[in-house]
């Protein structure tokens, strides 16, 4: 618990975040971040595609409080969409609203995301709006509501640690939804704190959405949950084209390949870019064993 809190607060440190940008991928981040530029990311995506794995691409970026930075992020994501298309890669986009200006102004953010969704729509490409902390939850759902008046290539994430996650899921059942346990530190009044409770709610949401929803992305590295899903879909005759498994780039690579080989749709979340620090610290907070990644880097020098 202590380590989790330390890494979580490190992830929110703006000074370390901006310092890290200057030095390229360090501390083992290179094994979980697919490069610092689009070319490197496309190469990683094509390698995964060659193994029957599709990708969702995240242009890393945090702490955006200036309009120009949000515009630069938008332009970069538009370039990623072009690169996916021109390289004929099997990939779509994941984006974070705060990187596109949600902390500056809602309409500014909506316009940035709309441009991205519009461009992706021209190539029949899906855009997932990642879910950040509770403070941004309602405005993120507002973005989805506003965008779906014009587009159907957009969906979002529901976090199982929230007590009322099922209410959100019921409301958004006709969307392509990624289900996760939840990565941020949230207060006990609104979110389960105990792993057992989070897992139980997660399974409840997955089962419900598999039976009632449009398309379910089950994003977890937890083999127990994955095995449970495999049995559940078999028992309920849920076809493989109704769901996919997702994991983060660089984690449990053998399991990723195994699931793809077994014929399940599998999608790897591919983060890339200079702004890797906060993302990497959150991965260490989730699972301090990920410190192995750091240790390997230090001792392999």
Q: Measured between alpha carbons, how far is 255 from 245 in angstroms, rounded to an integer?
A: 11
Q: How far is the CB of 223 from ligand FDA (least distance, A)?
A: 6
Q: How far is the CB of 174 from ligand FDA (least distance, A)?
A: 19
With tokens 């990920």, the residue in question is 290
3-state secondary structure 205-235: HHHHHHHHCCEEEEECCCHHHHHHHHHHHHH
Which among 114, 178, 282, 283 is annotated as catalytic? 178
Q: How far is the CB of 113 from ligand FDA (least distance, A)?
A: 15
3-state secondary structure 19-69: HHHCCCCCCCHHHCCCCCCHHHHHHHHHHHHHCCCEEEEEECCCCCCCHHH
Q: How far is the CB of 19 from ligand FDA (least distance, A)?
A: 25
Cβ distance to ligand FDA smaller for residue 27 or 66: 27
List 54's β-bridge partners, or say none: 267
Question: Is there a contact between 16 and 277 (Cβ–Cβ < 8 Å)?
Answer: yes
Cβ distance to ligand FDA smaller for residue 96 or 114: 96
Q: Measured between alpha carbons, how far is 278 from 33 in angstroms, rounded to an integer?
A: 12
Q: How far is the CB of 248 from ligand FDA (least distance, A)?
A: 5
Q: Measured between alpha carbons, how far is 163 from 201 in angstroms, rounded to an integer?
A: 8
Question: Is there a contact between 165 and 201 (Cβ–Cβ < 8 Å)?
Answer: yes
Cβ distance to ligand FDA smaller for residue 15 or 147: 147
List 158's β-bridge partners, or say none: 179
Q: Measured between alpha carbons, how far is 96 from 101 in angstroms, rounded to an integer?
A: 9
Burial class (CB in 10 A: 0-12, 13-18, 19+), 254: exposed
Cβ distance to ligand FDA smaller for residue 35 or 250: 250
Q: How far is the CB of 237 from ligand FDA (least distance, A)?
A: 26
CA distance from start to end of the chain: 30
Residues that bind ligand FDA (CB under 6 A): 130-131, 157, 159, 180-184, 219-222, 246-248, 251-252, 269, 286-287
Q: Is 58 a catalytic residue?
A: no
Cβ distance to ligand FDA smaller for residue 25 or 57: 57
Q: Is 90 a catalytic residue?
A: no
Which among 130, 199, 275, 282 is annotated as catalytic? 130
Catalytic amino acids? 130, 178
């Amino acid at each position: 618990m202590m380590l989790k809190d330390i890494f979580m607060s490190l992830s929110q440190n703006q000074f370390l975040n901006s310092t890290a940008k200057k030095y390229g991928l360090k501390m083992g981040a290179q094994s979980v971040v697919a490069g610092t530029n689009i070319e490197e990311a496309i190469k990683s995506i094509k390698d995964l595609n060659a193994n029957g794995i599709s990708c969702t691409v995240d242009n890393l970026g945090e702490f955006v409080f200036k309009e120009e930075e949000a515009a630069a992020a938008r332009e970069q994501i538009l370039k990623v969409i072009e690169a996916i298309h021109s390289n004929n890669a099997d990939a779509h986009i994941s984006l974070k609203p705060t990187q596109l200006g949600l902390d500056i102004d809602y309409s500014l953010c909506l316009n940035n995301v709309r441009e991205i969704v519009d461009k992706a729509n021209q190539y029949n490409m899906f855009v997932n709006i990642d879910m950040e902390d509770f403070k941004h939850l309602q405005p993120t759902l507002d973005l989805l509501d506003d965008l779906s008046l014009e587009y159907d290539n957009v969906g979002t994430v529901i976090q199982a640690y929230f007590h009322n996650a099922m209410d959100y899921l019921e409301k958004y059942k006709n969307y392509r939804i990624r289900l996760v346990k939840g990565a941020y530190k949230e207060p006990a009044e609104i979110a389960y704190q105990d792993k057992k409770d989070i897992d139980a709610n997660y399974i409840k949401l997955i089962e419900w959405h598999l039976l009632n929803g449009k398309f379910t992305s089950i994003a977890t590295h937890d083999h127990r949950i994955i095995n449970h899903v495999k049995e559940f879909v078999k028992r309920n005759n849920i076809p493989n084209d109704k769901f996919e498994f997702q994991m983060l780039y660089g984690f449990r690579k053998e399991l990723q390949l195994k699931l793809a080989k077994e014929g399940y749709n599998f999608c790897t979340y591919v983060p890339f870019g200079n702004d890797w620090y906060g993302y990497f610290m959150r991965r260490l907070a989730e699972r301090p064993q990920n410190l192995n990644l750091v240790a390997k880097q230090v001792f392999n020098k």
